[in-house]
Amino acid sequence: MAKEKTVQGTATQVKDFTNLVVQEQISTSVVGAEYGVIIGGYEGFYVFDGEKKEIIASVTTGSYVNDAQIYGDYLYLVDREGLKIYDFSDPQELILLNSYSTFGDSLSVTTNGELVFVADGENGLISFDLKDKVYIRLKEHIRLPGMVTRVEMFENYLFVIGPGLGIKVYEINENQTLQEINYYDKFISPRMFTFNNEFFVVNDDLLGIHIFKIKDLINDKNYDLKPLYVWNDDVYSMQLLDESLYFSTNNGVYKRNLESLETQEIITGQFSRPNILIKGGYIYLTNNENGLYIYDLDTKKLLKYVNTVNSIFDFVVLESGVLINEGGKIVYLDKQKGKLWEKRYTGSLIKGKKGFYEVSGNMVHFYDAKNTTTKSFPENIKRIKETQEGVFVIAEENIYSFFDGTKVFAGKAQDIEIIDNIAYIAEGDKIIEFNFLTGKSSFKFYSKDYIDQIHSSSDGFILLTEKGVFRTDFNFNIIDYFSFDYSPDIITLNEKYIFYSIGSQLTIVDVSNFGLNRMINSDLPILSMDYKYRYLYIFYPSKGIRRYNITDKLQLVDEEVIVNIFTAKNMVF
């Protein structure tokens, strides 16, 4: 199947994975379980139960996974660090047995139980001796022109393709060394190939699909190869099955008979770079961030769709589950990580404690786990502020109560906090006190920096500015100050802690004493945070949303994966 060249990622290994299925269950007559692997790129790989049609485990290798092959009780895998061998006898509890750095890209792997071959990008073709299916020893390193991106075995032959390389065909000699017997160098960007006992089909992204007779490749030594057919179809992946070529596009799946050349549309839909695998009467479409689609090969009906969310821009943790901003769509997952509903939005989202506010001009839609509340106001809205005494809409010229729509303050402002009918309003670099009962205003605090947010605490106020955080008493006398080295990407706070992140660096500040703070570096950038129910929730690319407990020494203890990012790039059985 197709491979993609991508930069390396890091992650940590886990054993359990929640079933992501949201379609109906498949009834299957398969006798005995058969297990496959879904390649996930940065996310590692997932073990797939072919009988139940379920994901039963997830493993992250610490690097971007490119390809894998299951051979008996072993899984041979290549990621950007090299070759890895896993014990696959218990697919729910994989054990890493051996690994070897190839010092290249490690894009593709194939084995016959005695030899392992790795397509190593610009580093060439690498072969290993295998002993007892586990122990590996470097046998040959063949440097080739161009890149080696895909390698497969057929009987006693090895097929290799890549840009600048074309096709090279090797015969495996009795001493297990390789002898080149054929080549075809007229490709520009060959990305994938598929074959059976009669045909060998290559897809070049620029030159289209080329069909060869496989006997021409292996029987005629150094023969002037010519394809039987060249089709200019724009396909993403393909698979030969009997006398037909199945191929996938962004618009669906098609079937073309290689004898009659008749083409039939099999599946219609909008996909994104879908890889196709046909196995046991099913069509599997691995559609990257859009998940896995499983169709019945005979009826062409969609039987199951496996995914949770395509992406995460932000999230709100609730007692009953989690709301996720997927970018153009809000998704609600329950505690079992099942998707209960999704709703599209067109405005901009503002995160609240119990949901998302969608702001579009002078309209606000509030989404929580069960309901949608819609409000309109006389002017365009800049911000929503939740306080202990209500929710307020900060518009361009005035501040309004969200629930009853009344104007509570006339004037421009960027934030508001309410305590006992007294409003404290941030106006530029000043804090103004406004008495709701008397309607009188008075000056309370001045900062040399723009005041972005004002929050009340048990003993005073927390003021967030462009360059740092002030802690004051109720009369706005400064108690403490914490300065930012750089402007934070994300800031969230509560009664106990201030959290802010810059890239992959998280800083935790104790609200009661700014001198108590800790800086923590993570492997991946922090894209969103939420603090609820004494836990810190962080969203990382590829890792998903993880929950942490915070110790007295401001250390993070990894508690649980709340939402996995499921990426299905390729599938092997």
Give yes or no for residue 69 having a pLDDT over 80.
Answer: yes
What distance in Å separates the CA atoms of residue 159 and residue 427, rounded to the nearest whole number?
69
Handedness of CA 24, 27, 33, 34 (dihedral sign): negative
pLDDT per position as a tens digit, 9-21: 223 333 333 333 3
- Side-chain half-sphere exposure of 433, counting CA atoms within 13 A: 15
Q: Nearest 5°: phi and psi at 132?
A: 55, 30
- Percent of the chain residues topping a pLDDT of 70: 94
Residue 169 confidence (pLDDT): 96
**475 CB-near residues (< 8 Å, 6+ apart):** none
Q: Which two tokens stand for residue 567?
A: 């990426």
CB 392 within 8 A of CB 425: no
Residue 286 confidence (pLDDT): 95
CB 137 within 8 A of CB 131: yes
pTM above 0.75, yes or no: no
CB 349 within 8 A of CB 314: yes
What distance in Å separates the CA atoms of residue 516 and residue 562, rounded to the nearest whole number?
28
pLDDT (average), residues 415-426? 94
Of 260, 256, 262, 258, nearest in space to 276 by CA? 256
- Local confidence band at 33 (pLDDT 50, 70, 90 cut-offs): low
- Local confidence band at 162 (pLDDT 50, 70, 90 cut-offs): very high
Give yes or no for residue 310 having a pLDDT over 80.
Answer: no
Of 13, 21, 9, 18, nearest in space to 339 by CA? 21
CB 91 within 8 A of CB 54: no
What is the length of the chain? 573
Give yes or no for residue 355 having a pLDDT over 50.
Answer: yes
Helices (H) and strands (E) in the chain, counts: 1, 56
**570 CB-near residues (< 8 Å, 6+ apart):** 1, 2, 3, 38, 39, 67, 275, 277, 286
Give yes or no for residue 399 having a pLDDT over 60.
Answer: yes
Residue 413 confidence (pLDDT): 96
Helix (H) or strand (E) holding 216: helix 214-218
Residue 27 confidence (pLDDT): 33
What distance in Å separates the CA atoms of residue 448 and residue 433, rounded to the nearest whole number?
18
pLDDT per position as a tens digit, 168-224: 999 999 998 999 999 999 999 999 999 999 999 999 999 999 999 999 999 878 778
pLDDT per position as a tens digit, 248-268: 999 999 999 998 889 999 999
Taking CA 133 as the corner, what is the angle to CA 129 and CA 134, rounded to the nearest 5 degrees? 85
What distance in Å separates the CA atoms of residue 452 and residue 426, rounded to the nearest whole number?
7
Stretch among 308-322, 363-377, 464-478, 558-572 having the lowest mean pLDDT: 558-572
- Local confidence band at 481 (pLDDT 50, 70, 90 cut-offs): very high
